[in-house]
Amino acid sequence: MILKLKKAELKDFLDAKVELYNNPKFIDSDPIQIPHKFSKKEDIEIAGFLTATIAWGNRKSIINNANRMAELMDHSPFEFVMQHQKSDLEQLNGFVHRTFNEIDFKQFIKGLRHIYEKHDGLESVFAKNATKDSLQKSIHNFKQCFFEINHLKRTEKHISDPLKNSAAKRINMFLRWMVRNDNNGVDFGAWKSLNPSQLSCPLDVHSGNVARKLGLLKRKQNDAKALSELDNSLRKLDPKDPVKYDFALFGLGVFEGF
């Protein structure tokens, strides 16, 4: 069933839900709590990237395993990434979150070091291919840079590619965390070279189903085409900060069973 609301009514309804969920209380039950344990920009972005990478499945399990990742990096993600020796990677042995295992974790540590050493860091590599209203090309470019070094093919599946019709939910969520400054202490706004207007909504089962019920999305699959359609709908409601509505869609789906 689609809820029929006029544009102004829909905006008011969703703005109220954003206000309800986009506040510090949200952090306690969300994986974003992991990067919030850090204060240095590079620690925040590495902890955020790794947390977002494993953000599928049971939320409690995601949070537990992301905490475990931080622990295995001695609670100093940037230092561990940049200064690790081959022997240091052995302490990651036995890590597993669903299909992301110790092989993938070690590769991600090496890939991150490559990004900082050869591409001037995470923010720089994402900013490089950004267009006026999209970071989807940036995600594609980032994946190419990340896997320039020697790696096992199996690890590639853990970074989605929008140019291969993926909605890239987890990496779009990570970008929301880093780019968007909500002034409420949830999203970090740590990356100043990108704007919230360029972000895409992290599209998953919950946000997709709610968006369809509200008439924001017609396409049935949660893929890159659906993401583009949803982005267009949300940009009409707020062109400067369209992904603030992720809080509304997610909250309605997960907390209210909308």
pLDDT in tens, 30-83: 999 999 999 999 999 999 999 999 999 899 999 999 999 999 999 999 999 999
The whole-angstrom separation of Cα 176 and Cα 182 is 10
Please report the pLDDT score of residue 3 as a whole number.
66
Q: Which two tokens stand for residue 133?
A: 């209203």
What range defines the domain where residue 50 resides?
Answer: 7-255
Number of domains the chain contains: 1
In a domain, 189, yes or no: yes
Q: Is residue 185 part of a domain?
A: yes
Q: Using one digit for the tens of pLDDT, what is the confidence trace for 138-187?
A: 999 999 999 999 999 999 999 999 999 999 999 999 999 999 999 899 99
DSSP state of 169: H
Q: Is residue 1 part of a domain?
A: no
The number of residues in the chain equals 258
* Greatest alpha-carbon span in the chain: 60
In this prediction, residue 5 carries a pLDDT of 73
Q: What average pLDDT score do residues 207-215 get?
A: 96
Smallest CA-to-CA distance from 187 within 102, 249, 103, 247 is with 247
Kindly state the percentage of the chain with pLDDT values over 70: 98
Find the mean pLDDT for residues 89-106. Answer: 97
Residue 58 in domain:
yes
165 lies in some domain:
yes
Q: Quick check: is 144 in a domain?
A: yes
Q: Is residue 1 predicted with pLDDT exceeding 60?
A: no
Share of the chain above pLDDT 90, in %: 94
Q: Is residue 2 part of a domain?
A: no
Q: What is the pLDDT of residue 6?
A: 81
Here the tokens at position 246 are 């992720």
pLDDT over 90 (residue 188)? yes
Within a domain: 109? yes
